[in-house]
Structure 1
């Protein structure tokens, strides 16, 4: 895909990947053991999101993610004139697992104790190709309507419209989905771009509106005799931000 008035590269293309623009946000903040990395091989126009999802330490739960360094003063370029995002996911080394792409248009200052404050997240799941499949590399088109708002792990249907002129954070995540995924993961991406009229030949990943409540982070209930109830990764993680 070439750069023109219908395409705004965010990463890759004419906006080269940089590992310094990303940072890890893994379940180790709550005693987990998952680890993630984002590699940008020299001379290669791609990024490699990789790591290990360990679900043993947290009772079947876990997440590993890489997010962009926060743009508190200077958000990403205005994407309001575009229809959605296009990702080119490379077949090489791909694992066929489910990943989550997340956007935020608000990032608040941290609390005095260093924890982040909760804000609305807009997310969409997609499945990577798998080495050995016949399809080859995949270009995935995600219209803005496929990004579903959540707040503290719960769907937020009354959320304000995503402010596409003010996107502050983009994240890539591997999570357990109630223990359905674990172990090593690897995702190679050539680019992420905002695009206009992007139907083309790109595949549209199935958007799972309830995905925000399917990661399965067990949490002790209050006054329930220690009964364990499943919570979403966002609910579990946002316990840090109260």
Structure 2
């Protein structure tokens, strides 16, 4: 792996495109939560309302990437870097998938596959500074299936990442209501462990992502 190399997936010099994202909220299960991704200049804002009363304490609101045939090869990198702006104190979940299945022919809903998840909260100091980052190493991602941890699941196949998502969920009734998180960029990075310590060795090289259409 090349130390200090970055691959910009979204944001940064590449910018954000609203057509790359779509809402995936609990309304598909009869809930009333709703999310939006608001694009402005070089940043985006993930925001909306998390309703937990309709589904009895559960609820989720998320934005995910579009393009069912898109695939990113991130095997040369060590993890993901989320560059953040203004944020609230709620807990968010970053999600990757390496498999997508066709919709269920009986009800038209997307069939479930393993999700690889990382929960995070922006500290009060970082939120006030409106500039912070979260580093997610591949081993930090927890495999889940339909919201439950699946300890016997294989590790994320970083050679064929199919989907990127950002989610607000209730965590069994712990949080609800309005939420807001500004995202400056999402990048794949090498030497994530060193960067987490504030050290990046070598010359940093920034590349733009290539989504391979299968």
TM-score category by the smaller chain?
0.7 to 0.9
Q: Give 1 or 2: higher strand fraction.
A: 2
Q: Which of 186, 193, 207 does residue 192 from structure 1 map onto?
A: 186
Q: More relative contact order in 1 or in 2 (CA 8 Å, sep 6+)?
A: 2
Q: What is the alpha-carbon distance in structure 1 between the residues aligned to residue 57 and residue 146 of structure 2?
A: 20
Cα deviation, 1:83-127, whole Å, max 9, x if unaligned, reads: 00011111x3x2111000000000011111211111111000011
Equivalent residue, structure 2, for 1:84: 79
Structure 1 window deviating more from structure 2 (121-130 vs 30-39): it is 121-130
Q: Deviations over 1:161-182 (max 9, x none)?
A: 2111111111110011121111
Cα offset for 1:202? 4.1
Structure 2: state its 5+ residue gaps.
Answer: 199-214
TM-score (norm 1): 0.75
* Structure 1 residue 48 corresponds to structure 2 residue 45: yes
Q: 1:56 to 1:202 in 2, by over 3 A?
A: same
1:164 aligns with 2:161: no
In the other structure, the counterpart of 1:103 is 96
User: Which residue number corresponds to residue 25 of structure 2?
Assistant: 26
Alpha-carbon distance in 2 for matches of 1:148, 1:110: 24
CA–CA separation in structure 1 for the residues paired with 2:138 and 2:80? 7
Which position in structure 2 is the counterpart of 1:146? 140
Paired residues in the alignment total: 195
- Counterpart selection for 2:64 from 58, 63, 67: 67
Greater mean alpha carbon deviation, residues 165-174 or residues 152-161: 152-161
Distance 2:46 2:172 in 1: 21
CA RMSD, Structure 1 to Structure 2 (Å): 2.1
Q: Deviations over 1:189-215 (max 9, x none)?
A: 1001000012455479xxxxxxxxxxx
Q: Is the 8 A contact 2:137 2:193 kept in 1?
A: no
1:145 is paired with a residue whose SS is helix
